[in-house]
Structure 1
Amino acid sequence: MARRRITQETFDAAVRENMEEFEMDPDEALREAVEQFESQGVDLSCIVKAVPAVSTDDKQEEQTHEVLQALDSLRIGQDSAGVKDVTADIKRFTEHCSLGFAQRYLAAQKDAYPVILSYCKKSMEEQESVLTALSALAALTDGQPDLLDAEGQQFLLNVLNKYKADSSVTRVAICVMRHCCLKHEQNRQDLVKGGVLPLLTGAITQHSGCAELVKEGSAALRVMTFDDDVRVTFGHAHEHAKMIVLEHNGLKVLIKAAQAHLDNTSVLSELCATLSRLAVRNEFCQDICDLGGLKLMMTLLADSYETADLVRQVLSAIRAIAGNDDVKDAVVNAGGVQLIVIAMNRHMGNSAVCEQGCACLSVLALRKPNNCKVIMENGGALAAVQAMKAHSDSVNVQKQACMLMRNLVARMRNLSQPILDMGAEALINQALQTHQDCGDLGKAALRDLGCKVELRELWTGKHGSLTR
């Protein structure tokens, strides 16, 4: 059931009443208001939980929060002032929008977007000014993709075209675009039609030495492959991924960028995450391998296995490209199984690494008896069992471990007893009892391991003849 919501004005009035009627000090008044509304089941996620500044003139109360004071100053100079004249106010607005979603939401409710966009367009010819205005737009649109309109889309495309050589402006413009495409399918489609994909891959290539821009560009490409807008029945995620690869050489661009930042784990994590989103066709998986992507991933697993987030993203990428049967063999032949098991054992306390590790081994084992043998010999099944014990509360770890065990024995029945000897049956039964979502995978694993399992018929037809 949806929780109740209130306006910022209602919340501010309650705080002021606590101060004036009950003579509370500001901090106590604020705390009391928060507790009062939360006890009534009110959602305060979009409310600025701060004491409004006392106004010295006749301004309305809603203008007393600092983010709105800055916005009011910008609105006053909107028609006459240039960006340089109001730089301090824009930076103050940006700073307060960056404090949290509630500040950004309040500003948007008071029509901040057209004000900030007008300064963005006004600043187009001056690098420092456009950077200042774009930063404000980036802060405002974070979590609010619906703000972007056709005018804003065209402005972003114009900036990316005009300032191709400037890494700072390009990076912030891409950041705005990423914010506005997250959970917004129409913005994605409109910007792709407007030609944003070659601008993104071109920016990564041209500024391959700029770590922050490479990260931002890679993240923006990845967002273009999302299908996360619940308002849309069918998105263009798959089509966008194909366009990035086939029309804009995205795989080569990303792998070359990774090779230029082998000492930067955050950049490498970002690039691996994007590569995994682009491995949507069998031939793309092979292309990643042929372009040196698999060798890169093996190197990262071997050299950077201490870094949990990078390990997780590398495993996710290997899982994606191993959908290709030839790549499965290439991973195993390159020593991938040993490296995956080492990474899992090193980060056994990290559920995300364990989940991706089990999923990786599961994909490598699928339809590949020889790979199953290698996985068993290198402790893959044992690592999965340990992961199930360590993360009994994680449904995803349990599901992936069950899938791995099933794939290991599906064509290699002789592996069933060694896996059972590790205590797999009790762990799978525990997962079935704890997590409803494990039902199908858990029962399939028990069945293929030769264990007793209750398979319930969901529907059975009645005997009898069919009549016309």
Structure 2
Amino acid sequence: MAAKQITQETFDEVVQENIVEFGLEPEEALNEAVQQFESQGVDLSNIVKEAPNPTSENGQEQNHAILQTLDSLQKAIVDSDSSEMDELLGSFAEQCRRELAVRYLAGRKGAYAAVLAAGRLACEDRCSLLKALEALSALTDGQPDLLDASGQELLLQVLQGSRDAADLTFVAIRCVRHACLKHEQNRQDLVRGGVLPLLAGAIVQHGDRANVVREACSGLRIMTFDDDIRVPFGHAHDHAKMIVSDHDGLRILIEAAKAFTDDCSVLSEICATLGRLAVRNEFCQEIVDLGGLNFMVALLADCIDHQELVKQVLSAIRAIAGNDDVKDAIVNVGGTDLIVLAMSRHLASPQVCEQSCAALCMLALRKPENCSVIMEGGGALAALQAMKTHPREVAVQKQACMLIRNLVSRTRDFSQPILEMGAEDLISEARAAHRDCDDIAKAALRDLGCKVELRELWTGQKGGLAH
């Protein structure tokens, strides 16, 4: 059942009542209100929980610092007071970064229109425009619905007209990223407006600026997401295809990596983005042809201790291994040994274990020769160790079961060695603990030659389901 919701006004009224009716101090009144609502199962995640100013006499709204700042900003915009506006935009952005509840309250009280108006007024002044974009970025973080056609137009204008300005480009791309996360319509509108070549171009134009390259990679990647539950299907695949085919995205990313050999955060973003773009057989092959596979294998070898980077490299290798020829290329350059080493080194990380098992699973699929290499390199044992280490992580259990199944489905000789490693008990435990694992665990047990109880859910007889 969904949690109950209340408005900011309702919450503030209860806090005020606790002060006036029960004589509590502001901080006590606030804590009492929080406890009261939480005990009733109310979700307070979008509520600003601030103790009111005891000297206040003009109602509740002014007690919230963000609304005071917004009120002053709106007046400065009306008066076209640029110096006051810059200072207030900075303060507003800082307050918005504190928490989503503050941004949510500001958004409800007209902050988007004010910040957009400030941005339009500041178009000729780079410093003021930067302040407005920073405020817009902070406000839209977690609130992509706020962006409208005017806001999209402003962002595209800035990216188009300020290509040489790294600071403006960086903040404008961050606004794009916030506006497109979990918002399919904004993605489609901005892509139609020409944002993809601007994002790719920013990587080329500012290839020596880590923050811009990181942000632009993230922006491109979000265009390939399908994360808006409000739409039945999105254009994720189309956008990925456009980035690669129309805007040379793969070459741009792989070239960009050469400038950041020691910056794991940038390399992580590049690998994560490459993985999202490997949506077609020929794109996977192109990544190899451009040197992307050698680059990723070298990263695994050289940066094996950097957990986040390892996770993203494994995810990218998993993606390009969708191509059968690339599977062989990965194995031929020693990729399997490095994947097993990464899983062993980061056994405590469920994400690394999941991606390692998934990558090996792809390499083993329809490839008996690769299965032999994985077995010899200790891949099955490492996967079972991951299952043992993370019994509650359904994603780890599922990928490990799929790997085991792929290893034995065409090479039954591996069944006995894998069973001697304790596979049957671990897979049975996964099946019992996680409903999502049931089918794949059952298939793995069957292909291992274990006896699997098959429940007959439907007998075909009148009267309903048989239990």
C-alpha distance in structure 2 between counterparts of 1:432 and 1:460, whole Å? 24
C-alpha distance in structure 2 between counterparts of 1:242 and 1:46, whole Å? 37
| Contact 2:141 2:179 survives alignment (8 Å) | yes
The reply on whether 1:21 has 2:1 as its aligned counterpart is: no
Partner of 1:465: none
Post-superposition CA distance 1:102-132 (Å, at most 9, x none): 0000000101100000000110111111001
C-alpha distance in structure 1 between counterparts of 2:53 and 2:92, whole Å? 15
The reply on whether 1:117 has 2:116 as its aligned counterpart is: yes
* Matched letter for residue 265 of structure 1: C
| Contact 1:167 1:207 survives alignment (8 Å) | yes
Partner of 1:292: 291
Partner of 2:465: none
| Contact 2:76 2:82 survives alignment (8 Å) | no
Report which stretch shifted further, 70-79 or 46-55: 46-55
Report which stretch shifted further, 18-27 or 257-266: 18-27
The reply on whether 1:47 has 2:47 as its aligned counterpart is: yes
The reply on whether 1:97 has 2:96 as its aligned counterpart is: yes
C-alpha distance in structure 2 between counterparts of 1:245 and 1:53, whole Å? 55
Post-superposition CA distance 1:266-296 (Å, at most 9, x none): 1111111111110000000000111111011
Following superposition, the deviation at residue 84 of structure 1 comes to 2.6
Post-superposition CA distance 1:237-290 (Å, at most 9, x none): 110000000000001111111221111111111111111110000000000111
C-alpha distance in structure 2 between counterparts of 1:55 and 1:6, whole Å? 26
Following superposition, the deviation at residue 353 of structure 1 comes to 0.3
| Contact 1:82 1:119 survives alignment (8 Å) | no
| Contact 1:46 1:101 survives alignment (8 Å) | yes
Following superposition, the deviation at residue 54 of structure 1 comes to 4.5
Partner of 1:466: none
Following superposition, the deviation at residue 55 of structure 1 comes to 5.8
Following superposition, the deviation at residue 433 of structure 1 comes to 0.7
Specify the SS of the correspondent of 1:4: coil
Following superposition, the deviation at residue 82 of structure 1 comes to 3.9
| Contact 1:6 1:42 survives alignment (8 Å) | yes
Mapping for residues 168-183 of structure 1, pairs under 5 Å: 168-183=167-182
Following superposition, the deviation at residue 234 of structure 1 comes to 1.7
Mapping for residues 55-134 of structure 1, pairs under 5 Å: 56=56, 58=58, 60-134=59-133
Partner of 2:318: 319
Number of paired residues? 462
Post-superposition CA distance 1:355-380 (Å, at most 9, x none): 00000101000111111001010100
Following superposition, the deviation at residue 2 of structure 1 comes to 1.8
| Contact 2:77 2:85 survives alignment (8 Å) | no
Partner of 1:427: 426
Post-superposition CA distance 1:375-395 (Å, at most 9, x none): 010100000010000000000
Following superposition, the deviation at residue 224 of structure 1 comes to 0.4
| Contact 2:26 2:54 survives alignment (8 Å) | no
Following superposition, the deviation at residue 20 of structure 1 comes to 2.9
Partner of 2:139: 140
Q: Decide whether aligned partners of structure 1 residues 56 and 44 sit closer, same or farther in structure 2, where only a CA change above 3 A counts.
A: closer
Following superposition, the deviation at residue 440 of structure 1 comes to 0.6
Mapping for residues 216-255 of structure 1, pairs under 5 Å: 216-255=215-254
Following superposition, the deviation at residue 454 of structure 1 comes to 1.4
* Matched letter for residue 305 of structure 1: I
| Root-mean-square deviation (Å) | 1.3
Post-superposition CA distance 1:170-215 (Å, at most 9, x none): 0000000110111111111111011000000000111011101111
Mapping for residues 307-386 of structure 1, pairs under 5 Å: 307-386=306-385
Post-superposition CA distance 1:36-73 (Å, at most 9, x none): 00001111010001113356564x42132001100000
C-alpha distance in structure 2 between counterparts of 1:104 and 1:189, whole Å? 25
C-alpha distance in structure 2 between counterparts of 1:123 and 1:54, whole Å? 37
Partner of 1:447: 446
Report which stretch shifted further, 19-28 or 110-119: 19-28
Specify the SS of the correspondent of 1:152: helix
C-alpha distance in structure 2 between counterparts of 1:231 and 1:438, whole Å? 27
Post-superposition CA distance 1:395-444 (Å, at most 9, x none): 01000000000000111100000000000000000011110110110000
C-alpha distance in structure 1 between counterparts of 2:199 and 2:353, whole Å? 33
C-alpha distance in structure 1 between counterparts of 2:263 and 2:205, whole Å? 18
Partner of 2:401: 402
* Matched letter for residue 353 of structure 1: V
C-alpha distance in structure 2 between counterparts of 1:53 and 1:316, whole Å? 50
Partner of 1:9: 9
C-alpha distance in structure 2 between counterparts of 1:300 and 1:277, whole Å? 18
| Contact 2:140 2:146 survives alignment (8 Å) | yes
Report which stretch shifted further, 409-418 or 4-13: 4-13
The reply on whether 1:190 has 2:189 as its aligned counterpart is: yes
- Structure 1, unmatched stretches of 5+, are 463-468
C-alpha distance in structure 1 between counterparts of 2:82 and 2:265, whole Å? 34
C-alpha distance in structure 1 between counterparts of 2:261 and 2:22, whole Å? 61
Specify the SS of the correspondent of 1:115: helix
* Matched letter for residue 80 of structure 1: D
Post-superposition CA distance 1:11-44 (Å, at most 9, x none): 1122222223323233222111111000011110
| Contact 2:26 2:52 survives alignment (8 Å) | no
Partner of 1:164: 163
C-alpha distance in structure 1 between counterparts of 2:290 and 2:227, whole Å? 30
C-alpha distance in structure 2 between counterparts of 1:459 and 1:156, whole Å? 57
Partner of 1:215: 214
C-alpha distance in structure 2 between counterparts of 1:86 and 1:53, whole Å? 25
C-alpha distance in structure 2 between counterparts of 1:13 and 1:133, whole Å? 33
| Contact 1:252 1:291 survives alignment (8 Å) | yes
C-alpha distance in structure 2 between counterparts of 1:266 and 1:374, whole Å? 31
Report which stretch shifted further, 243-252 or 258-267: 258-267
Following superposition, the deviation at residue 81 of structure 1 comes to 1.8
| Contact 1:180 1:187 survives alignment (8 Å) | yes
| Contact 2:115 2:136 survives alignment (8 Å) | yes
| Contact 1:62 1:68 survives alignment (8 Å) | yes
| Contact 1:157 1:194 survives alignment (8 Å) | yes
* Matched letter for residue 215 of structure 1: R
Specify the SS of the correspondent of 2:329: helix
* Matched letter for residue 452 of structure 1: K
* Matched letter for residue 141 of structure 1: T
Report which stretch shifted further, 410-419 or 44-53: 44-53
Report which stretch shifted further, 163-172 or 1-10: 1-10
